[in-house]
Amino acid sequence: MSARLRRRDALITLASSFAALAGAGCARGGKDGEASLWFAYGGTNREVLLSLVNRFNAEQTTYRIKAIYQGDYFEALAKLRTAIAARTAPALTHVVGEVVPYLAQAGTLLPIDETHHVTGDVVPALGQTGCFVRGGERPIVCAPFNRSTPIAYYNRAIFDELGLHPPTTWSELESVARAATVRANDGTVTRHGFACPIDWWFWVALVGQAGGTVVEDDGTPSLGGEAGVRALEFWQRLVHEERTMKPPPGRDYNAWQATNTDFLAGRVAMIWTSTAFLKYLETNAKFPVGAAPLPGDVRRSVPTGGTMFVVPAASSEHERPAARAFLQWMMQPRQANEWATRTGYLPVSQKGLAELEASGYYREHPNDRVALDQLKDAFAWPWAPTLFRIQREAVQPRLEEAVLARRDARATLDEARRAAGEP
């Protein structure tokens, strides 16, 4: 079997037994007008989504949505792969944007009909048309759901005390992190000036800021070239030489949560994370929280992130009308705005965004405005079926070792490039 076929099989292989899949909530044989929605968050975001599902079910009697929690993004994706292989997929789910090109090429997604106003009102940078290079030239197979950009959060009390301002360049970031770091007499750091998960998403932001791109428009995994090396070395310098960046423990979203916890506990003055945590941080912090755009180097650059709604082709046909009705309802301005303002994710409806602007919402909630303003610096991902594999198999596993163990950045990326480009 070729390496290409092995990778294809690995992406849709059975990640658990069929019995486990059934226990996960697959809704085959459900009642007419009922559809399953698989989702992948906990905490406040889960509560907000479930409240919207309950309202949809209460506002009409034709359809009913059963929302089923499937773990974090990657756990949910593993279960979806299982369901696709077994042809028992949910009627509606959401997946990380980077995996959409692969799923589309594999023929596992149904087109989403724009004539039913599912994606006709979408903020351009957040939907398939603007999120991917030439995304509008292809059948629309995804609709934006929880869309985000990375942003900086800072402890306003610390910054005010020290007379600091959010950094706008890498050089300023180094200076601000140094000024906000506190050391004991023995040199032990008791408060770091900066923290950031060692994660693909934030590294991609650094690569873009350094003038590079990780995957070229034709799908070639350049991994930023010299810009990729500079991005890794920048993190290494902050962690090891400056000792102003706190290296978070754990991987994937465990590292993200550790970063949030350190910030809320006052152990870090400034962090990079997602807009998804805006309301959580504002609600739980015992100090005023500020939000700011990411700094730039040769330019400003941020990736968009989060997930897209998709309709699996392996779902039950009789569930699809309910799924489509719910999707249309969620994309309407009222629901899109409620989701955004109660979580921190970006509003995906253009009409809804105009309503928020007109109401003065952003004047009253300037932190919510940051990610929206950053969209002008967002780039379009390549429509590359290998994009998700490059992220999860080639780059992500090597980032933590490169930064924490200070492995040679160039050698690390050369190895990752070979892994990404394996025929």
Residue of 112 and 4 predicted with greater confidence: 112
Judge contact between 367 and 385, C-beta under 8 A: no
186 confidence band (pLDDT: 50, 70, 90): very high
Mean pLDDT within 258-276: 96
Mean pLDDT within 201-212: 97
Q: Tell me the average pLDDT of the chain.
A: 90
Mean pLDDT within 293-306: 96
| Residue among 210, 201, 214 at smallest CA distance from 230 | 210
At 25-51, the pLDDT tens digits run 444 445 779 999 999 988 888 999 999
Does residue 376 carry a pLDDT above 60? Answer: yes
Angle subtended at Cα 147 by Cα 36 and Cα 331, rounded to the nearest 5 degrees? 55
Q: Which fold has domain 3-148+305-377?
A: D-Maltodextrin-Binding Protein; domain 2 (3.40.190)
- In the chain, where are the structural domains located? 3-148+305-377, 150-303+386-420
CATH architecture of 150-303+386-420: 3-Layer(aba) Sandwich (3.40)
Question: Which range (64-68, 112-116, 168-172, 353-357) has the least confidence?
Answer: 112-116
At 228-247, the pLDDT tens digits run 999 999 999 999 999 999 98
Mean pLDDT within 372-387: 93
For the chain, first and last CA: distance in Å? 13
Residue 31 is predicted with a pLDDT of 72
Residue 222 is predicted with a pLDDT of 94
Residue of 3 and 50 predicted with greater confidence: 50
Neighbours of 344 (CB within 10 A): 27
Q: What is the DSSP letter of 150?
A: E
Does residue 298 carry a pLDDT above 50? Answer: yes
At 81-126, the pLDDT tens digits run 999 999 999 999 999 999 999 999 999 999 987 655 677 899 999 9
- DSSP string covering 242-295: S--EEPPPSSTHHHHHHHHHHHHTTSBSEEEEEGGGHHHHHHH-SS-EEEEPPP
Q: How far apart are CA 139 and CA 141, in angstroms?
A: 6
Mean pLDDT within 304-333: 95
Question: Which range (19-33, 188-202, 394-408) has the least confidence?
Answer: 19-33
Most confident of 19-28, 30-39, 290-299: 290-299
Residue of 272 and 220 predicted with greater confidence: 272
Does residue 24 carry a pLDDT above 60? Answer: no
Mean pLDDT within 195-201: 95
Residue of 346 and 9 predicted with greater confidence: 346
Q: Do the domains at 3-148+305-377 and 150-303+386-420 have one common CATH topology? A: yes
The residues pairing with 38 across neighbouring beta strands, listed in sequence order, are: 68
Does residue 17 carry a pLDDT above 80? Answer: no
CA distances from 96 to 53, 99, 297, 304 (A): 21, 6, 27, 11
At 334-363, the pLDDT tens digits run 999 999 999 989 999 999 999 999 999 999
Q: How far apart are CA 311 and CA 43, in angstroms?
A: 25
